[in-house]
Copies of this chain bind each other. A is one copy, B any other.
Amino acid sequence: MHNSTGLSSGLMVEAPSCSFASDNTAGVAPEVLDAMAGANTGPAIAYGADPHTGAFDAHIERLFGSGAKGLLTWGGTGANIVGLSTLVRPYQAIVCAESAHINVDECGGVERFTGSKLIDVPTIDGKLTPAHIEAQLHVLGDVHHPQPGAISISQLTEYGTLYSVAEIQALSDCAKAAGLRVHMDGARIANAAVALDVPVRAFTADAGVDVLSFGGTKNGLAYGEAVVFFDQSLVSEAEFNRKQAGQLPSKMRFLAAQFNALLDDDLWLRNGAQANRAAQRLVAGAEKIPGVEITQRPAANAVFARLPRPVVRQLQAWSYFYVWAPGQPDANGEIFDEVRWLPSFMTTDLDVDLFLAGVAEAMAAH
């Protein structure tokens, strides 16, 4: 894979064919590519007035209840922008975790498109709590201060942690009591749904979430996310926001067909389960390798571990992954970096076992 460090790793073991760098390094699920080809028959009116988009609408109602409406968008930043711009006015602020993707990984897209401030709060594990919300409420009604108008939570979080259904309900209750809306960034919602082992509706629509970015790209699509609205009164405005944000696909059928392939027969959950299982297998093997410290057990598909820096460098040259948090020299002058390993729906047992063998070889030689 491109973006290896370009150095020879010197490791004897064969590198896995799947990357552990991110779930967006994976390709497209075969069922999804087939669905695109299957949609390529004759003409179709653009922008969603086609049968594939109709079938997608039915899937959303099936999953989230009658009245739920999903608007397809190109990508995750776009989905978040469309959802959040529908929830808040520019003088309102969005309360989120400091680590939230909308806060650190979207180049300020939310601020530019909405005009709103993000109030980002430090967290231990990427999860907001009702106390985080309550600490922001004293400014409500005071014109000098940006008015908290929505919270945004990530499920999974960017730290790979998971909100329970009860935690989401508690956040929603707290937010709603103060008049705030609730947004969920579900870029990895399939992994979360599998990990929670409840219907997706239970921790979204039924737990007080107003708008959900339903991720597709990281779970097997070539492109595409859906912004799902559980409050019908928001949909009309959202459709204009989607168009104005440049997030309305022209040949919509090719996106809807992909999503339908994912939602038919619950392929999305099977894909999510595959990634989660790979993470479990990975952590089970890694913790047996002397010198590897698991810093966070995977709630779903994200594994965090700490390794000596020379080992990290050698492994990256062999099969690239990201350093999550660089370490500082310890008393012996040795540096241990925290790394993230993120299997995808494509990661096989063989990939995991090869990766573990590489880690073991590098650690043994260290």
Contacts and interface: CB of A to CB of B under 8 A. Distances in A.
A209 interface: no
B246 A77 contact: yes
Contacts of A74: 74-75, 78, 223, 246-247, 249
Interface string A78-105: 1001000100011101000000000011
Contact of A246 (B2, B81, B146, B239): B81
A112 B109 contact: no
A109 B244 contact: yes
A254 B42 contact: no
A115 interface: yes
Interface residues of A, number: 79
B40 A17 contact: no
Contacts of A91: 107-108, 112, 237, 240-241, 243-244
Main secondary structure of the interface of A (DSSP, over half): loop
B117 A115 contact: no
Interface stretch (A6-14, A25-33, A157-165, A301-309): A25-33
Contacts of A27: 39-44, 251
Given A33-B37, A42-B17, A51-B2, A108 B81 contact: no
A1 B42 contact: yes
A10 B243 CA distance: 36
Contacts of A57: none
Interface string A53-89: 0000000000000000000001111100100010001
Contacts of A144: 47, 104-107, 243
A77 to B, nearest CB: 4
Nearest to A319: B43
B244 A246 contact: no
A155 interface: no
A242 B75 CA distance: 12
A280 interface: no
Contacts of A46: 22, 24-25
Interface string A166-187: 0000000000000000000000
Contacts of A89: 237, 240
A140 to B, nearest CB: 11
Given A91-B107, A143-B243, A243-B144, A25 B1 contact: no
A222 B240 contact: no
A147 B108 CA distance: 9
A300 interface: no
A107 B28 CA distance: 32
A217 interface: yes
A293 B172 CA distance: 41
19 contacts: A1-B42, A21-B45, A22-B46, A24-B251, A27-B42, A28-B36, A77-B248, A81-B246, A89-B240, A91-B108, A106-B244, A107-B147, A108-B116, A108-B117, A109-B244, A109-B246, A115-B115, A143-B248, A223-B250
Given A27-B251, A107-B143, 16 more contacts: A19-B43, A21-B45, A24-B251, A28-B251, A28-B254, A36-B222, A47-B143, A47-B144, A75-B250, A77-B246, A90-B244, A106-B244, A109-B245, A143-B243, A222-B254, A246-B246
